[in-house]
Structure 1
Amino acid sequence: MASRRGPVQRSPTFFVGAEKQKKDLDAFQRREQQLAEVYYKNKPLCFNACTYQRTHPVKANAGHRDADATLVSPMAVGVADGVSQIEEYGIDSSELPTELLRQCEELAFDQLLPRKSHAPYHGPIPLVREAFCNTECMGSTTLVLALLDNSTRIHGKLHPMIAVISIGDCELVILRRLQGRSGPLELVFHTEMQRVDGHCQTPLQLARVDERIDAQFHDSITVEVIERGSAVHCISAYEGDIVIVGSDGVFDNLYLDEVAAIANTVLPPSSTQRPTHSSQLTNMSKRIVEAAHQKTRATAGGFLPEAPIGRGGKMDDTSCVVAEIIEWTEAHQKLYAREEFIPKWSNFWHCQVGCEGDENELQEYDGEMTPPGFHRKRSKRPLVSHPLRLHN
């Protein structure tokens, strides 16, 4: 029913106890492969991504801490949304999602970069499981992670794939120009939210807590959530695909066609096939976040806008990663053949402005070309980096 009142106040995300999470794991599990055999250019691909996140102004004015973390890198993009209720127990809700995504990026960097020598990659479930086991922080978080694997072959030809693993209510969509360069971006894939008992405050989540919060908890329960409850999808990747990853603050407030409309406004059809400038990717992620926040404000007539979660949407921390699939070039290859180049970690800090600079274009550095989103830094570890697998 339409109403002329202020924004609807909806509860924050709640921590879900061990026993409640375990009972529904089989219902949440998805193992899906979407394979398109047509592939035109047999070349490796990578992500070129930017991110934007913003605490809802009402929550920011109340001193709320933003618990979202985002990841952008050549072989992995993702969002982890920390459970805010953890703050009531004196735990920083941003620490576990930040540490988890950093571990995911480290493993993706070692296992998925197109190099002659790399660590073995066994699929998204083992990667996230190992990443979680490598963390130490307390907390609870939802997660959606996309991994780009260039080792799959069909009829002997390279066929890059995107593996998506989702736990909780963050979401991911893939847009593609199905009518060629002159056609609009159209939705070809999206994940679904996993919420215990269907309640928006109780998503499936990855947790590490002590007896203050849940006396029955043990790390093995989270490992079981990853192995049995995760939704895993494998999708053919094509140059020019747009991957949009967002926290529930995005997809509780915006319908999928609204997200696609923003993408088409920012990236209209073009007669040339070239990587999108980072300023456009940042602009798209910012406009998506702002459109999500707009759903909580009354219109000029005093009516609250419609949203997937209900009229007036939900005031929430909101983060969005926008990535374009681009060719992995010889410049990338030369850069990552050297051990002093490692990913930059600035994406993990909770900035309000997204990417800075012209990172989408290869930049000259000491006579060499530097791929987007990365900078030179001496690694403290050697950088050593297989068909896409669903098994665990």
Structure 2
Amino acid sequence: MNLESYYIPKENTSKPKGEDAHFIHKDYQTIGVADGVGGWTKRGVDAGKYARELMENCVLTLYGENKGAVNPMVVLNKAYFDTKAPGSSTACIITLTRDNYLHAVNVGDSGFMLFRDGEMVYKSPVQQSAFNCPYQLGRSKGCDRPSSAEELKVAVKAGDILVVGSDGLFDNMFVSEMKEIIDNVEKDGLTPKELAWTLAEVASYNSLDGDGDTPFAQAKRFAGLGRGKGGKVDDITVIVAYIVI
């Protein structure tokens, strides 16, 4: 995989790093994204620290698991037990296997989409207990453990484009908007970094539009919560991988 990322933290002077975290390990063809749950702010906790420590521990686990194929569930499980920071976060870990599958584990509403020949052919399921209340890893009461993660395997082909992100991306961009941008990848000669940047910037623009329609607004209407207009102001992480086999 040819891998790159782009991150836009929402403006917050007390949390300049935001609450998202991610990693890319090109040697192991493995990536991960975590989104610290903002509700911890009411308790004086920066959940971004939990997300960052969780992702750092995933990378450390990868270095310790270098004798064979990467198992995302093993990586997530060990990273979870090694993470001591207060808070909680979603998590999605994905690796490309030697037999050309994406092997992923996902907890919550971060996730990924796979595009092939201009069409979205797969979207990872969202895990949430209620509207805007995703499953979340953490040690506190009410939080989830890695056993709650959904394990996924998706076949890939050369030329596929993988888009991984936190909910700040998926809540603020429709698939049709992503397809329009991805359709121009070859024509415009976009690198993975440039595609990640473009997707993140459009999602960020949509998040600040108080009257526009977004997936978040549609979900809000469906849940019967208010007028259901506008985007969701949030941290936005985008990782793009061009599949090369």
TM-score where L is the length of structure 2? 0.84
1:295 has 2:206 as partner: yes
CA distance in 2, matches of 1:70, 1:164: 15
Q: Percent of pairs identical after alignment?
A: 25
8 A Cα contact 2:115 2:160, kept in partner: yes
Which residue of structure 1 lines up, in the alignment, with residue 127 of structure 2? 194
CA distance in 1, matches of 2:63, 2:183: 31
The one of 95, 99, 108 aligned to 1:147: 95
8 A Cα contact 2:9 2:19, kept in partner: no
Which amino acid in the other structure matches residue 93 of structure 1? Answer: A
Written as runs of structure 1 = structure 2, the 5 A alignment for 1:92-171 is 92-111=46-65, 118-119=67-68, 123-150=71-98, 159-171=99-111
The one of 230, 234, 239 aligned to 1:316: 234
CA distance in 2, matches of 1:255, 1:77: 23
The one of 39, 42, 48 aligned to 2:2: 48
CA distance in 2, matches of 1:104, 1:55: 21
Q: Partner of 1:127: helix, strand, or coil?
A: helix
Structure 1 residue runs without a partner (length 5+) = 1-46, 113-117, 151-158, 178-184, 210-215, 270-275, 328-392
The one of 24, 30, 33 aligned to 1:76: 30
Which amino acid in the other structure matches residue 309 of structure 1? Answer: F
8 A Cα contact 2:6 2:237, kept in partner: yes
CA distance in 2, matches of 1:161, 1:296: 33
CA distance in 1, matches of 2:236, 2:125: 18
CA distance in 1, matches of 2:155, 2:62: 18
8 A Cα contact 2:135 2:144, kept in partner: no
Which residue of structure 1 lines up, in the alignment, with residue 40 of structure 2? 86
1:203 has 2:121 as partner: no
Which residue of structure 1 lines up, in the alignment, with residue 243 of structure 2? 325
In structure 2, the CA distance between the partners of 1:146 and 1:268, relative to structure 1 (3 Å rule), is farther
In structure 2, the CA distance between the partners of 1:162 and 1:108, relative to structure 1 (3 Å rule), is farther
In structure 2, the CA distance between the partners of 1:324 and 1:109, relative to structure 1 (3 Å rule), is farther
Deviation at 1:317, TM superposition (A): 1.0
Which residue of structure 2 lines up, in the alignment, with residue 280 of structure 1? 191
8 A Cα contact 1:76 1:105, kept in partner: no
Deviation at 1:268, TM superposition (A): 3.3
CA distance in 2, matches of 1:104, 1:92: 20
Deviation at 1:232, TM superposition (A): 1.6
Deviation at 1:119, TM superposition (A): 4.8
Q: Partner of 1:295: helix, strand, or coil?
A: helix
8 A Cα contact 1:267 1:280, kept in partner: no
> Which is helix-richer, 1 or 2?
2
The one of 176, 179, 182 aligned to 2:116: 176
CA distance in 1, matches of 2:172, 2:125: 14
Q: Which has the larger radius of gyration?
A: 1
8 A Cα contact 1:169 1:195, kept in partner: yes
In structure 2, the CA distance between the partners of 1:141 and 1:268, relative to structure 1 (3 Å rule), is same
Which amino acid in the other structure matches residue 68 of structure 1? Answer: D
| Structure number with higher relative contact order (C-alpha < 8 Å, ≥ 6 residues apart) | 1
CA distance in 1, matches of 2:64, 2:161: 24
Q: Partner of 1:196: helix, strand, or coil?
A: strand
8 A Cα contact 1:296 1:314, kept in partner: yes
Which residue of structure 1 lines up, in the alignment, with residue 223 of structure 2? none
Structure 2 residue runs without a partner (length 5+) = 218-228
TM-score where L is the length of structure 1? 0.54
Deviation at 1:63, TM superposition (A): 4.5
CA distance in 1, matches of 2:215, 2:2: 29
CA distance in 1, matches of 2:79, 2:22: 15
Deviation at 1:168, TM superposition (A): 0.6
Deviation at 1:120, TM superposition (A): 6.8
Q: Structure 1, residues 181-210: CA drift from partner, whole Å, max 9, x if none?
A: xxxx3211111221112x11x11100134x
